[in-house]
Amino acid sequence: MSDISIARSNEVKGLTAQDERVLRLTGAHLGSLAGRDLKVGCADGLEHDAQRWAVRKRELTGESSARWAGSITKATHDQWALARHGLLAHLRSLEAGVATIEHRLSQPIGAPGTKRAPGGYRSRREWFAKSRRLGVLRDRLAAGRADWDAGWVRVVRGGRRLLTSRHHLPEAGLTEERWRERWEAGRWFLAADGESGKRYGNETIRIAPGGEVSIRLPAPLGYLANAPHGRYVLAARAAFKHRGAEWADRVAADRAVAYRIHLDTERGRWYITASWQRVPAPTLSLEAARARGMVGVDTNADHLAAWRLDRHGNPVGDPKRFGYDLSGDAAHRDAQVRHAITGLLHWARRCGVVAIAIEDLDFAADKTREKHGRRKKFRQLISGMPTGKLRTRLVAMAAEAGLAIVAVDPAYTSKWGARHWREPMSSKTRKVSRHDAASIAIGRRALGHPIRRRTAPPPRDQSDRARHRTVQAGPGAPGREGPRHLRHGACTRCRPPDAGN
Residue-wise pLDDT for 130-159, tens only, equals: 999 999 999 999 999 999 999 899 899 988
User: Residue 133 falls within a domain, yes or no?
Assistant: no
Mean pLDDT of 32-36: 94
Q: What's the confidence (pLDDT) of residue 347?
A: 94
Which of 278, 305, 335 corresponds to the end of one domain? 278
Q: What are 190-235's pLDDT values in tens digits?
A: 999 988 889 999 999 999 988 899 999 999 999 999 999 899 999 9
Pair 291, 206 in one domain: no
User: Residue 136 falls within a domain, yes or no?
Assistant: no
Fill in the DSSP letter of residue 219. G
User: Residue 344 falls within a domain, yes or no?
Assistant: yes
From residue 253, give the alpha-carbon distance in Å to each of 209, 233, 247: 11, 22, 10
Cα separation, 40 vs 233, in Å, equals: 33
Ordered strands of the 355-359 beta sheet: 315-323, 303-309, 294-299, 355-359, 404-408
Q: What's the confidence (pLDDT) of residue 396?
A: 78
User: Residue 179 falls within a domain, yes or no?
Assistant: yes
User: Residue 499 falls within a domain, yes or no?
Assistant: no
Pair 259, 302 in one domain: no
Q: What's the confidence (pLDDT) of residue 134?
A: 94
**Out of 109-113, 141-145, 329-333, least confident range:** 329-333
Report the CATH number that the domain containing residue 302 is assigned in CATH: 3.30.420.10
Cα separation, 275 vs 277, in Å, equals: 7
Top mean-pLDDT range of 301-310, 362-371, 452-461: 301-310
Pair 266, 346 in one domain: no
User: Residue 473 falls within a domain, yes or no?
Assistant: no
Cβ neighbourhood burial of 377 (10 Å; 0-12, 13-18, 19+): exposed
Q: Can you give the residue range of the structural domain that contains 336?
A: 286-447
Pair 265, 220 in one domain: yes
Q: What's the confidence (pLDDT) of residue 336?
A: 84
Which of 278, 301, 329 corresponds to the end of one domain? 278
Which of 278, 301, 325 corresponds to the end of one domain? 278
Pair 186, 217 in one domain: yes
Q: What's the confidence (pLDDT) of residue 381?
A: 57
Pair 185, 318 in one domain: no
Q: What is the mean pLDDT of the chain?
A: 83
User: Residue 480 falls within a domain, yes or no?
Assistant: no
Pair 186, 211 in one domain: yes
User: Residue 474 falls within a domain, yes or no?
Assistant: no
Pair 369, 441 in one domain: yes
Pair 26, 175 in one domain: yes
Q: Is the pLDDT of residue 125 over 90?
A: yes
Pair 48, 174 in one domain: yes
Q: What's the confidence (pLDDT) of residue 454?
A: 63
* Single pTM value for the model: 0.71
Q: Is the pLDDT of residue 295 over 70?
A: yes
Q: Report the relative pairing of strands 231-237 and 212-216 from DSSP bridges.
A: antiparallel
Top mean-pLDDT range of 9-23, 372-386, 445-459: 9-23
**How much of the chain is helix, strand and coil, in % rounded to 5?**
45, 15, 40
Number of domains in the chain: 2
Pair 272, 296 in one domain: no
Pair 273, 352 in one domain: no
Helix (H) or strand (E) holding 233: strand 231-237
Q: What's the confidence (pLDDT) of residue 466?
A: 52
Instruction: Please tell me whether residue 264 adopts helix, strand or coil conformation.
Output: strand
